[in-house]
Structure 1
Amino acid sequence: MRFNKLDLNLLIALDVLLKERSITRAAEKLNLSPSAVSNSLSRLREYFNDDILTQIGRKMYITPLGEDMQDSVRNVLNLIESSILIQPNFDPATTDRTFSIFCSDYTQMVLIPHLLMLAEQQNSNARFRFLPQIENPHKSMERGEADLLIIPSDFVSAENPSDVLYEEDFVCMMWNDSAIAHTPLTVAAYANAGHVSMEPSAHRRDFFSQFINQEYGINRHITVSTYSFAVLPSMVVGTENIATVHARLARQIARIWPLTIKPLPFAMARMKQCVQWHQYRNNDKGLIWLRELLVKATSQLDISPPA
């Protein structure tokens, strides 16, 4: 099929080439030979009168025009997929779809087990792929790499629809045999303690540090930083450190590790955990089913699984 003399099949090749920046890797993704992908790139260069990808040494770099086209091409393909290729009906028992969901390890421990149990009860044949923390999850969703984002409301994009799934409190955890576990946890004690912190990347401060600094002028002394919420509590065992943790996660971990849970010594608004999806996917029956299942799963959050 052609549009303005452009073979629309080339858009698929262009999308993968711009993502992979390699003819060899693009050929693997497209299940084509490298020579076929190289030919597609030549035709794209001729049509747009631009190199699109330029070889410098052993690497390929995207030209400014290629950078400008990257999001537009992905959006076009997303629109085609959501409008034409997604089947109008969805049956969880017969589907062969794989749903890709961006969420933290905290969400995978607290919410996702309930989602999977509900899917099992419906004899669902759907598969689930959970994606790791990245700097800009919305870009992943817009490129079609993720079907849903499950993220706090502070990080929800205004460009796409979202719903609040549930609210969460935060608590402090410390080792049972630490001195700080047997004394009142005041603001001063919190400020003077060592802290174990989850830091999402080298470029961003963690949410708690920003909030506490802005609201109370406290600069936490971070003695240990990690990329995972789930391991925070275990890292205070044998120390005088504190981990500030989601309350539901804390209760799960305290069943396993010798840890004490104490309330925060200051007021902090509850976190609103949201689900977000691309505006093009509003009528996707499969995502509607999945979002409804997530809502049902939240009603079971405070029901403890078997020990």
Structure 2
Amino acid sequence: MRFNKLDLNLLVALDALLTERSISRAGERLHLSQPATSNALARLRTYFDDELLVQQGRTMVLTPRAEGLVDPVREVLMRIDSTIAEKPRFDPGTSTRSFILLVSDFTTTVLMQPLIEQLFQEAPGVQLHLRAQNNRPVEQLEEYGADILIIPEQYASPRHPSVTLFEETYLCVTWEGNPHVTNALGFDDYLAAGHVVADYSGARHIPAFDGWFLERFGVKRRIEISAPTMAALPSLVVGTHRVATVHKRIALRAVQLGLPVRIWEPPLEIPPMRQKLQWHRHRDKDPGLEWLRERAMAVATRI
């Protein structure tokens, strides 16, 4: 099919080339040989009267014209997929569809087990693939790399629809043998203690909670242990005099698992965290995703 003299099949090749910025990798993604991919690039260069990709050292970079095509081309393809390629009906009882969810370790710990159990009862053939979020999770969603993103409200994108799954408050956790915290955890105790925190960035900067804490109280917590997981924090205070400020469900789970810890109400008022479920705006009417969103929201009311 052609539109304005452009072979629309070339749009798929263009999207792959713009994303991969490599003829060989784009060919692998398209299941085409390198000569066939090079030929597609040559035709695209002729149509747009632009080089699109140019060699710079050992890598290929996009021209300004190509940079301007990245989002429009991807949006066109996603619109086609959501309005034409998607089946109009979804039968969970017989479906073998795969869904990709971008989730944190917190979401995996508190939501995924009951959700997977519920889905298995209704749709035993449906597959869920849980993926870790990188430092730009909304871009992962926009690049069509996931069906659903579950993320705190402050990081959700206003460009795409979302719903609140649940709210989460905080508790503090200390080792039950900590001699400095026996009857209550006061604010002075909190400041005096070393802290165990979650840091998902892999870079040295102030985590989100500490930025809020510093702005609110004008002091910094003394962070002595950081880990790339919220779920493990209660275990990391064991045998120490440190404190961890964690999501309430994580703290209660640690007690239920028999960890030698004690939990305390925080000695300061911490705003609750609202966990959002987000999806791409062009997939809003996807019947499979509608079903999955409804089930996730129903399960979230029970956790």
Specify the TM-score bucket, using the shorter chain as the normaliser: over 0.9
Contact 1:174 1:180 in 2 (8 A): no
Deviations 1:159-187 (CA, angstroms, capped at 9, x unpaired): 21111111111111122222244253111
Q: Which AA in structure 1 matches 2:11?
A: L
Contact residue 53 and residue 63 of structure 1 kept, 8 A: yes
Deviation, 1:209, is 0.5
> What corresponds to 1:221 in structure 2?
222
Give the residue type in structure 2 aligned to 1:270: P
The letter for the 2-side match of 1:133 is Q
**1:16 aligned partner:** 16
Q: CA deviation at 1:203?
A: 7.0
Residues 104-113 or 44-53, more deviating: 44-53
Note if contact 1:181-1:260 (Cα within 8 Å) is conserved in structure 2. Answer: no
Paired position in structure 1 for 2:92: 92
User: Is the CA contact 2:184–2:264 (under 8 Å) kept in the aligned structure 1?
Assistant: no
Residue pairs, 1:105-254, within 5 angstroms: 105-201=105-201, 202=203, 205-254=206-255
TM-score (norm 2): 0.94
**In 2, Cα distance between equivalents of 1:146 and 1:204:** 28
Structure 1 residues 76, 264: CA separation in 2 closer, same or farther (over 3 Å shift)? same
Instruction: Render the CA deviation track for 1:139-178: whole Å, top value 9, x for unaligned.
Output: 2212211111111111222121111111111111122222
| Kept after mapping to 1: 8 A contact 2:181/2:189 | no
What is the one-letter code of the residue matched to 2:278? Q
SS state at 1:184 partner: coil
Task: Give distance in 1, aligned partners of 2:254 and 2:25.
Answer: 41
Q: Which residue matches 2:291?
A: 289
SS in 2 for 1:145: coil
After superposing the two structures, state which structure 1 stretch, 17-26 or 75-84, moved more: 17-26
Note the aligned Cα RMSD (angstroms): 1.6
Q: Which secondary structure state, in structure 2, belongs to the residue aligned with residue 182 of structure 1?
A: coil
Would the alpha carbon gap of residues 4 and 250 (structure 1) be closer, same or farther in structure 2, given more than 3 Å must change? Answer: same
Return the offset for 1:294. Answer: 0.4
Question: How many Å separate the matches in 1 of 2:169 and 2:3?
Answer: 53
Check 1:225–1:22 CA distance in 2 against 1; reply closer, same or farther (3 A cut): same
- Unpaired stretches in structure 2, ≥5 consecutive residues: none
More displaced 10-residue stretch of structure 1: 251-260 or 212-221: 251-260
Give the Cα–Cα distance (whole angstroms) in 1 for the partners of residues 207 and 274 of structure 2: 17
% identity of equivalent residues: 42
**1:104 aligned residue:** 104
- TM-aligned CA deviation for residue 300 of structure 1: 2.5
Asked if residue 80 in structure 1 is aligned to residue 68 in structure 2, the reply is no
Map of 2:278 onto structure 1: 276
User: Could you tell me how far 1:226 is from its partner in structure 2?
Assistant: 2.2
So what's the TM-score if we normalise by structure 1? 0.93
Aligned to 2:44: 44
